[in-house]
Amino acid sequence: MSDLSGLADRFQSATPLATLIDDSETDYRRFQELVASTDSLAILCHDNPDPDTIASALALEAIANEWGVATVDIVHGGTVTHQQNRAMINVLDIGLKSITQVTLSDYSLVAFVDHGIPGRNNSAPEDMTPDIVIDHHPADEIEGQFVDHRPAVGATVTLLTRYLEVYDIELDERLATALLFGLHRETLDFNRGTTSTEHAAACVLHPHADHNTIEELTNSVFTPETISGIGDAIANREVRGSCLVSSLGRIRERDIIPQAADYLLQLEGVSTTIVYGIVDDNIYLSGRTSNTQLHIGDLLKETFDQVGSAGGHHDMAGGKVPLGFIGSVDDGDDVAMDLIDQSMNRQIFDALHGWTET
């Protein structure tokens, strides 16, 4: 096991991040004892992983490798369809395994990064209890041997950057680039859900990162499916007051949904967008808002959490509803699709009723 004797001294590190983040919330010694004593670790990203969960997993992998953990695998469910996420994985040569390739129970420890509840936006069995959870998303009843859950922080990458500081893990260029790109994407270039700790984390990462690579990843080209999906979201939009709801119908790339929700939030007079689409047997939703009086995560949770799973932050949220809750739809079945759109739009606008008056 790695030496713990210098841990207390490293808490006093005078970096900008150390002065802002509340280390009293985290038992760093307990975390090191847990990880450094294991022989195998599965780091589970949430489904369809984004840069925040990928970079956080990469940081945890670096920590485990530093402490001599023999087997460390980064695992995810779903697919990687967002063009920037694929580019990040390819350019930075990040090794991810599909959850279909592994058995989580074969690992001595399973860590969740950027999510916290089994079966909710991840492919872990609902009855399992993860050993480690590091997350910033609002959630209730998170369980594990070690839980670091801080919803007041704007990105999980921020937390893992502090872990690297505390344990004095070298920030090489590849890792710093991944973490800084994850910060950029989670906060939309520090314009969404950003706290002072994100800026402080960026100060830590900035000197070590390859900024040409970050620019390359940021400018990754859209796929034809993404452009078509955003076009469908524009064409199918319904606006009531300051709220916009749109359906993408049946799609193959789930990551189009949050991109469309972000894009449509730029429409003049619109402060809240909710976009949904059908992927396989589920309806996925993404919500965005610039309305400071509306908590979009609570709204989606109250509307859909009883029949599926939904929730998120004040200004951004997501959800998943089984298609059977609304009805079945086959490819090309326009009548069934219209009925599903009518039902979804009615429920969403009913939930938004206080903000739909013109």
The confidence score (pLDDT) of residue 332 equals 57
The confidence score (pLDDT) of residue 116 equals 94
The confidence score (pLDDT) of residue 346 equals 94
The confidence score (pLDDT) of residue 12 equals 45
Token pair in block for residue 287:
């919500």
Q: What is the 3-state secondary structure (H, E, C) of 105-131?
A: HHCCEEEEECCCCCCCCCCCCCCCCCC
pLDDT in tens, 214-266: 999 988 767 788 889 999 999 999 999 999 999 999 998 888 999 999 999 99
Classify domain 224-355 by CATH architecture: Roll (3.10)
Q: State if pTM tops 0.85.
A: no
**341 contacts 301 by C-beta, under 8 angstroms:** no
Burial letters 249-276, b for 16+ CB under 10 A, else e:
bbbebbbbbbbbbbbbbeeeebbbbbbb
7-218 and 224-355 in the same fold: no
Cα gap 55→178, rounded to integer Å = 5
End-to-end Cα separation, the chain, in angstroms: 63
The confidence score (pLDDT) of residue 213 equals 95
Looking at domain 7-218, its CATH superfamily turns out to be inorganic pyrophosphatase (n-terminal core) (3.90.1640.10)
Burial letters 1-16, b for 16+ CB under 10 A, else e:
ebeeeeeeeeeeeeee
The confidence score (pLDDT) of residue 11 equals 44
Q: What are the residue boundaries of the structural domains of the chain, listed by start?
A: 7-218, 224-355
Cα gap 81→79, rounded to integer Å = 6
Residues of the chain whose pLDDT is less than 50?
1-2, 5, 8-14
The confidence score (pLDDT) of residue 221 equals 65
